[in-house]
């Protein structure tokens, strides 16, 4: 029975050896954990007491882009470069002028009660009214190197002497070539050549929200710059009491004040889009400018013939309030007056005629009629589609020149 005893002894030996191996491995693992903890603590100690160097890496070029050098990129937000407004001012300012006016006015005579009071105090006849010189100022801008300057008609109205001053200090005596109070445009000429002049834009493409820059001399502060946007277009000058006729004008929130009159309204590229003409004093940032296309048309006539002609149809109209069988307002405008002797009377137009179309364009307001008239020229003809007592008529009317009395 010895063989079984040998087998148990061998098994015990194997078990003891396995236990010893496991013990050694456990001790080695514990020792490793202790070493790892020691080195970790030492590393934390070093990190708290030894400053670590700070390194910087360049910002990727795609995060911040340099301004592109493109012709249509106007705003360059670099501290080393001027913004587009400063560039526009630098470009245009030499062609913007101060216009100083001197006019002689007759003092008003005393009324009856003032005359009696004067005689009671002084016991003598009242002195005769004396003339006095009134001075005022405005702005303008040179449109060509030969010395033609656009300004407002109300700036140079009844002027006896006009003095034009430039940014560089030069001063010239000016001559008023003509004024047009319907559009509030005037042209002044000075005897000089090779003058700095503005670049002219087109007011036909102006849209609300575009940049608007005004340069002028408000309240004596010479060459003041104000900036805003185009707030509206085609505002009625008649409704704003700027003109007795419809002139579609530009509205801007760029500051316009007394003295800005006649100065340029510029776009973001420094091109003139309007002539500053008026503001509403009881409101904030409500200024108005005559579109440059209108101003140039008038200026050319003032330069060539000393006056401007405006087409005249000779009728007065109102919005048509008639209703159809469905209760909807009918299209067109109703004639409420035909001027005696006008081309409209000669063509047979009558009160209560309803104008449906002018030159194949539907009209529904008086302003639309006036706009089509103003866009035509004296001597041209308009084709009117009328409705008279249920009948449709086609009438051709020649445009006269607006009488001075009108």
The residues assigned a catalytic role are 154, 184, 261
Tokens (6 digits) for 131: 């003339």
Nearest to 230 by CA among 267, 198, 256, 276: 267
How would DSSP label each residue in 84-115?
HHHHHHHHHGGGEEEEEEEEEEEPPPP-HHHH
How would DSSP label each residue in 179-231?
EETTTTEEEEEES-SS---PEE--GGG--TTSEEEEEE-GGG-TTEEEEEEEE
Which position has the token pair 């360049």?
58
Q: Give one word for 224, left, alpha or beta, with left for phi > 0 and alpha for psi -120 to 50.
A: beta
C-alpha atoms less than 13 angstroms from C-alpha of 388 in its C-beta half-sphere: 12
Other C-beta atoms lying within 10 Å of the C-beta of residue 207 = 8
At 114, phi and psi to the nearest 5?
-65, -35
Tell me whether strands 199-200 and 271-279 are parallel, antiparallel or unpaired.
parallel
Q: Burial level of 179, CB count in 10 A (0-12/13-18/19+)?
A: buried
Q: Give one word for 382, left, alpha or beta, with left for phi > 0 and alpha for psi -120 to 50.
A: beta
Asked if 382 and 397 touch (Cβ cutoff 8 Å), the reply is yes
Tokens (6 digits) for 247: 């002139």
Q: CA–CA separation, 160 vs 29, rounded Å?
A: 111
Asked if 64 and 204 touch (Cβ cutoff 8 Å), the reply is no
Q: For the chain, first and last CA: distance in Å?
A: 150
Q: What share of the chain is helix, strand, coil (3-state, %, to 5)?
A: 25, 30, 40
């Amino acid at each position: 029975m010895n063989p079984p005893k040998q087998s148990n002894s061998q098994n015990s030996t194997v078990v003891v050896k396995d236990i010893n191996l496991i013990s050694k491995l456990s001790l080695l693992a514990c020792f490793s954990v202790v070493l790892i903890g020691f080195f970790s603590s030492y590393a934390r100690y070093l990190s708290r007491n030894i400053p670590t160097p700070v390194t910087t890496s360049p910002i990727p070029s795609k995060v911040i882009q340099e301004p592109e050098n493109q012709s249509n990129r106007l705003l360059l937000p670099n501290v080393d470069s001027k913004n587009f407004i400063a560039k526009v001012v630098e470009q245009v300012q030499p062609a913007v002028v101060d216009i100083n006016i001197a006019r002689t006015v007759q003092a008003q005579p005393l009324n009856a009660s003032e005359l009696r009071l004067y005689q009671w105090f002084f016991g003598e006849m009242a002195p005769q009214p004396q003339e006095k010189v009134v001075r005022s100022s405005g702005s303008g801008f040179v449109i060509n190197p030969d010395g033609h300057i656009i300004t407002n008609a109300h700036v140079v109205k009844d002027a006896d002497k006009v003095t034009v001053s430039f940014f560089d200090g030069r001063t010239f005596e000016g001559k008023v070539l003509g004024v047009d109070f319907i559009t509030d445009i005037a042209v002044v000429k000075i005897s000089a050549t090779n003058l700095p002049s503005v670049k002219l834009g087109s007011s036909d493409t102006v849209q609300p929200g575009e940049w608007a820059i005004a340069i002028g001399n408000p309240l004596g502060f010479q060459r003041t710059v104000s900036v805003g946007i185009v707030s509206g277009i085609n505002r009625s000058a008649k409704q704003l009491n700027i003109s007795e006729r419809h002139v579609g004008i530009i509205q801007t929130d760029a500051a316009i004040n007394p003295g800005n009159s006649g100065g340029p309204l510029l776009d973001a590229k420094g091109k003139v889009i309007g002539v500053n003409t008026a503001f509403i004093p009881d409101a904030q940032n409500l200024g108005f400018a005559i579109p440059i296309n209108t101003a140039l048309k008038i200026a050319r006539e003032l330069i060539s013939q000393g006056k401007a002609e405006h087409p005249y149809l000779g009728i007065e109209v109102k919005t048509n309030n008639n209703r159809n069988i469905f209760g909807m307002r009918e299209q067109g405008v109703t004639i409420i007056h035909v001027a005696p002797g006008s081309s409209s009377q000669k063509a047979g137009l009558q009160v209560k005629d309803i104008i449906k179309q002018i030159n194949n364009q539907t009209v529904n307001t008086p302003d639309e009629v006036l706009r089509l008239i103003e866009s035509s020229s004296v001597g041209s003809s308009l084709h009117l589609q009328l409705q008279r007592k249920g009948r449709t008529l086609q009438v051709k009317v020649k445009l006269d020149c607006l009488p001075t009395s009108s």
